[in-house]
Amino acid sequence: MAQRLSARLLIAALAFPFLPAFADDSDAISSQEIDILVVLGSRTPVTPGELPGAAQLLSAQDLRDAESPFLTDLLRTLPTTAMSRSGGPGSLTQMRIRGSESDHVQVRIDGFKVNDPAIGSAYDFAHVRGPTVEAVELLPGPSGALWGSDAVAGALHLRTPRLDGLELRAGAGSRRTREVTLGAGATGDRGHVTAIADHYDTRGENVSADGGEPDGYTVTTLNLNGGVDLTPQLRLTGTVRGFDASVEFDPTPAPDFVPADGDRESDIRRVVSGMHLHWTPSEDWQHRLTLEALGSRHKDFADGVATDARLGRRYRGSIQSAYAYEAVLPGSQQLVVALEAERERFIQRGVASAFGDPNQRQSLRHHSGLLEWRAHPHESLHVTAALRQDWNSDFSDATTWRSGLRSALPAALGDAWITFATAVKNPAFTERFGFTPDSFLGNPGLEPERSRGLEIGWVRGFMDDRAELELLWHRARLHKEIDGFVFDFETGLFTARNRDRNSRREGVEARLTLRPDAATTITARYAWLDASEPHGNGGQVRELRRPRHSGAVSLTRAVADDRLRLRTDVIVSGKRDDLSFATFPATRVALDDYILINAAASWQASAQVELFLRADNLADEDYEDVFGFNTPGRQFHIGFRLRP
């Protein structure tokens, strides 16, 4: 499978016309400049000080210091998120933002949407290797007016690495884990190109609480990105990224419906490719054409025999124009106009039975138009507004909007902001047409979910900007939420239906950053969350797998003239509820709170050689993200990075 994936990526790479034309990238934004830009809060990049909102940023240095095998290890340090992993490495890993559902966040890589139509238009974070990502931006809150469906609770953007020269990273660790990353890049006066090949495999964990069979995991990731200045005003950038993973897991048989040792395996493949064509005829005008495609395949095996498969396809195109001007109002303004078109496909293959035939082929189309207006009428005031209209082939059209204001407070009391926004989540193929014998039958009549949210925040620097405190409050209501565990007495199967009453989310978040000296950074984050959904008795009940209290403290320190870098993350997750399906109806169970301690150290032995050591779950905490699924205990990894 890895060979077939490599061949596909190679063919896609040969289609990129910019590969031979790299020479100097003097007009491009430097990595340092990119780190301080927010690409999700607007259709054109802005600085954090212009954004009405609280973007969470993980820089290239954060990822390098953490030496995390997988991105999820760092996402856990953001209490805005609740991570749920169904076992060891490679197991389904979901992220819930501010009490939302796991399919309510839109994920983008280098500006291209990667939510998977084959798994409910959600994103499985299990296979995102840390060394294949350079920076992360998370924008919580409804963002549908800017990015469309799936951005109900927020949007996440991943930037892939950009290298100049060769780099080899290799390591080994607990559970017979091995990893290797090879990267090469070149930069010149007309463009740049970077190629990365990454491989990780491990003997894995025993997901089942009983028995001793480990569940192994292997993933290979290939990534290619680059850009070229075709003319002084015309620039082409693009990315091709794909992975091929093999995940062993255990079945969940009756009557307890929790993992029991068994021979089950999933083979997963996903490839995303896309290009941006930027045309800047003047300082005031910017135009961008984007074309992208995504393909995925999920194939399941039981005792070595293929049982079913799901395939997802997406093709997207957009054209955008941004015009900066000074008229009508004082100060600078920008108007953005964009048109988008999208087509998605879903294919399911399986064995027909007395319960029905799972084999099917579905498709749908979306068309969108949006306007965004940003104004800077005063040096201390930023105003934004966005309006979007979506036309859907299979269900009702939707209008969403987003408005915000950010202003400096008098007497140097910091900055304050307020945002109010709406968003829509279209029903997924798996909810409308999905079919699992003896278990689930889709509902083609589902309606889109609709959300509205309010956020009020404040941030201020202290001690000559060696300390910064950020506080915010958020509130959201979700209408027509899709419940995927409704028992249908006519068929004897579970199905999906829209709820009649609203689900509620409300919370408070705080962040304190301290820089006592140039070599030390301490970041403490805390979140309180009240997330509930309608209950059958007419009241509200707490949402599953969302802790009421969560927090993290991260410490980084550079010593010995920056040759030795240290990082420690202490992650705290409060108690959460989950479901046990050993009874009918399912019974709520409480998952204990837990504390994870992860630590990493890197030593620059020479100009060419860097050594690193990482410890995960240093205290060997015994915890569950999902009821009945074991999670990894204490693990150690050691390795090196070589730059010839």
CA distance 50 to 34: 15
Q: What is the pLDDT of residue 254?
A: 86
The answer to whether 57 touches 35, Cβ cutoff 8 Å, is yes
Q: What is the pLDDT of residue 188?
A: 93
Please write the tens of the pLDDT for every residue from 8-32. 333 333 333 333 333 333 333 333 3
The answer to whether 294 touches 114, Cβ cutoff 8 Å, is yes
Please write the tens of the pLDDT for every residue from 368-415. 999 999 999 988 999 999 999 999 999 999 999 999 999 999 988 999
CA-CA distances (angstroms) from residue 349 to 271, 357, 550?
A: 20, 9, 41
Q: Residue 417 maps to which CATH number?
A: 2.40.170.20
Q: Which two tokens stand for residue 422?
A: 């709406």
Q: What is the pLDDT of residue 209?
A: 77
Q: What is the pLDDT of residue 29?
A: 32
CA distance 588 to 334: 50
Which residues does the chain have with pLDDT short of 50? 1-35
| Torsion angle of the four alpha carbons 161, 618, 56, 39, in this order, in degrees rounded to the nearest 10 | 10
453: left (phi over 0), alpha (psi -120 to 50) or beta: beta
CA-CA distances (angstroms) from residue 473 to 38, 135, 510?
A: 21, 26, 9
Structural domain count, the chain: 1
Q: Which domain holds residue 520?
A: 2-642
Please write the tens of the pLDDT for every residue from 533-569. 998 777 899 999 999 999 999 999 999 999 999 999 9
Q: Of 69, 40, 34, nearest to 225 (Cα)?
A: 34
Please, what is the average pLDDT of the chain? 91
Q: Which two tokens stand for residue 503?
A: 């689900």
Q: What is the pLDDT of residue 409?
A: 96
Please write the tens of the pLDDT for every residue from 447-486. 999 999 999 999 999 999 899 999 999 999 999 999 988 9
Please write the tens of the pLDDT for every residue from 330-364. 889 999 999 999 999 999 999 887 777 889 999 99
Q: What is the pLDDT of residue 8?
A: 38
The answer to whether 120 touches 581, Cβ cutoff 8 Å, is no
CA distance 410 to 285: 34
Q: What is the pLDDT of residue 356?
A: 77
